[in-house]
């Protein structure tokens, strides 16, 4: 199949979270299965250094204006990459915000991106499917529905839309409709809703989250639209790209290790303790690598740590960046518990690997989690995930004391429930035989992309037949 991904992040090029990993993981797997995969994304300022081999001019009609841009092409690990270059819209180093606030012109920037992607695709040999990811690409579903009548290369092309996170929707006031060539209803425009209405098929990144989206409050106001498309709406669990995330081959970590020889894992833990001036102790190391947002459970986690760190013989290392409100509290926690707690603020992919390898437990007390990739990485790294049982976390981690347990789980989104889970983790760690068993089982879990990729191919076929 000839497949075009329209997306705003791609691992190795631009990443703010799991969207990048998921787009690359799926694209790589589809390529390896013999399909022709192209990806189109904005050329952010951080990509200006990237060498491109080919460039085409593309003209976009938007809100009564004609806007030009270049689409520059290159390739990454066999996948063809096309970058939409427009300095005013994308010549910024951060894709969506200035660090605190979303850019005010995001509706215009991403409507333009969608139109540019479609205008470019119109002049290529026809793609069998277009696959959009998250709100940044949602208007393409609507634009394509109007273009099919006039553009032969797009006439029979379905649009598959994947919701990686239903909480980010991009709403804007009705007056934008004219500038963005979007339908007017008198109500706020909601990008995500447009895709729910106009995409040929929609899916999200786990079965659990798919079911949650059918009702409020998980649907964030869009339950009606998810229900309306219920028969076209599926849940396909993301995979883990073990070529990138495997402690046996990971070049970023202090020493490799695998199921049958965990000596390297002890080195990785020591190295992190040394790097961040923590005592080289046998106490369990709890870690997190996370966007610092409400979604990730910081309202439960910070008070839990404030209480727990007073007593518990543990070390905690958190790597993350995001909302100032939480970051300040995390820095404060580091001052209060200098022997036990570190907060490393920033986005550091190498460190993310090192922390995965060093940890005994990985903290993921999310309020909601469409899929979650960090718990999948943690399983493989023998870093037992402590998860709230929601969305994709519930679908991938079996909580102790189940006989088949691979981690620790809790259900209620409250600080006491999380504290109980932390205490459980400590008890498990103290019973080393039991801990080792759970760790072995965790490391044996396999969530590769093969299965997800097969489901996507079936979905593409269904979408082609549905048109």
Nearer to ligand ADP, 19 or 236 (CB): 19
204-223: which residues touch ligand GLC (CB under 6 A)? Answer: 205
The residue sitting closest to ligand ADP, measured at its beta carbon, is 18
CA distance 400 to 256: 27
Shortest distance (Å) from residue 373 CB to ligand GLC: 5
Q: Which of 137, 238, 293, 439 binds ligand GLC (CB under 6 A)?
A: 238
Q: Give me the least distance between CB of 292 and ligand ADP, in Å please.
A: 8
CB 344 within 8 A of CB 314: no
If one asks whether residue 290 binds ligand ADP (CB under 6 A), the answer comes out as yes
Contact between 348 and ligand ADP per CB under 6 A: yes
CB 233 within 8 A of CB 226: yes
Contact 201, 234 (CB under 8 A): yes
For ligand GLC, the closer CB: 135 or 341: 135
- In the set 26, 58, 121, 319, which binds ligand ADP (CB under 6 A)? 319
Q: Nearest-CA neighbor of 68 among 5, 3, 116?
A: 116
Please choose which of ligand ADP, ligand GLC, none residue 141 contacts, taking the beta carbon within 5 to 8 angstroms, the exact cut-off set by kind. Answer: none
Count residues binding ligand ADP (CB under 6 A): 18
Bond preceding residue 268 cis, omega within 30 of 0: no
* Site residues (CB under 6 A) for ligand GLC, limited to 19-38: 19, 22
- Strand 189-190, strand 285-292: pairing: unpaired
Angle (nearest 5°) at CA 197 between 202 and 94: 70
| 235 binds, options ligand ADP, ligand GLC, none, Cβ within 5 to 8 A by partner type | none
The closest of 393, 419, 391, 416 to 406, measured between CA atoms, is 393
Backbone angles phi, psi at 80, to 5 degrees: -80, 130
Binding mask 380-419 for ligand GLC (x = CB under 6 A): ------------x---------------------------
Q: Figure out which of the listed residues 81, 111, 300, 373 binds ligand ADP, where binding follows CB under 6 A.
A: 373
What is the C-alpha to C-alpha distance for residues 276 and 437, in angstroms, rounded to an integer?
29
- 65 phi and psi angles, rounded to 5 deg: -115, 155
The dihedral sign for the CA sequence 250, 253, 256, 261: negative
Tell me: does residue 17 bind ligand GLC (CB under 6 A): yes
Quote the tokens at residue 336. Answer: 């209060």
Which two structure tokens, joined as six digits, stand for 260? 């049958």
Q: Is 17 in the site for ligand ADP (CB under 6 A)?
A: yes
Q: Which residues bind ligand GLC (CB under 6 A)?
A: 17-19, 22, 164-165, 205, 238, 369-373, 392
Q: Which residues bind ligand ADP (CB under 6 A)?
A: 17-19, 21, 289-291, 319-321, 347-349, 352, 371-374
């Amino acid at each position: 199949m000839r497949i075009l991904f329209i997306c705003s992040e791609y691992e190795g090029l631009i990443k703010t979270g799991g969207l990048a990993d998921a787009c690359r993981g799926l694209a790589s797997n589809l390529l390896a299965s013999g399909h022709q995969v192209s990806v189109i994304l904005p050329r952010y300022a951080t990509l200006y250094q990237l060498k491109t081999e080919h460039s085409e001019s593309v003209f976009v009609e938007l809100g009564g204006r004609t806007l030009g841009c270049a689409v520059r092409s290159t390739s990454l690990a066999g996948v063809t990459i096309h970058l939409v270059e427009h300095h005013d819209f994308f010549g910024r180093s951060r894709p969506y915000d200035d660090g605190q606030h979303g850019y005010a012109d995001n509706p215009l920037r991403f409507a333009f991106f969608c139109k540019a992607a479609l205008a470019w695709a119109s002049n290529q040999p026809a793609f069998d499917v277009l696959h959009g990811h998250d709100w940044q690409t949602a208007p393409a579903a609507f634009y394509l529905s109007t273009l099919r009548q006039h553009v032969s290369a797009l006439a029979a092309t379905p649009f598959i839309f994947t919701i990686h996170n239903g909480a980010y929707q991009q709403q804007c006031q009705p007056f934008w409709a004219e500038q963005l060539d979007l339908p007017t209803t008198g109500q706020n425009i909601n990008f995500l809703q447009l895709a729910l209405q106009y995409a040929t098929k929609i899916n999200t990144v786990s079965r659990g989250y798919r079911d949650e989206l059918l009702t409020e409050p998980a649907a964030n106001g869009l339950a009606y639209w998810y229900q309306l498309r219920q028969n076209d709406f599926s849940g396909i669990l993301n995979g883990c790209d073990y070529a990138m995330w495997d402690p046996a081959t990971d070049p970023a970590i202090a020493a490799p290790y695998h199921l049958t020889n965990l000596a390297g894992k002890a080195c990785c833990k020591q190295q992190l303790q040394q790097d961040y001036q923590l005592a080289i102790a046998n106490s369990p190391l709890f870690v997190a690598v996370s966007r610092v947002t409400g979604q990730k459970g910081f309202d439960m986690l910070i008070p839990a740590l404030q209480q727990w760190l007073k007593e518990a013989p543990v070390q905690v290392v958190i790597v993350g960046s995001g909302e100032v409100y939480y970051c300040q509290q995390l820095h404060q926690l580091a001052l209060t518990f200098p022997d036990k707690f570190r907060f490393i603020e920033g986005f550091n992919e190498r460190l993310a690997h090192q922390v995965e390898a060093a940890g005994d437990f990985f903290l993921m007390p999310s309020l909601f989690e469409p899929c979650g990739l960090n718990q999948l990485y943690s399983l493989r790294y023998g870093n037992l995930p402590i998860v709230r049982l929601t969305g994709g976390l519930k679908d991938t981690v079996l909580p102790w004391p189940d006989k088949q347990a691979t981690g620790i789980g809790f259900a209620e989104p409250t600080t006491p429930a999380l504290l109980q889970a932390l205490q459980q983790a400590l008890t498990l760690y103290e019973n080393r035989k039991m801990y080792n068993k759970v760790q072995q089982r965790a490391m044996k879990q396999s969530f590769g992309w093969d299965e997800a990729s097969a489901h996507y191919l079936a979905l593409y076929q269904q979408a082609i037949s549905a048109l």
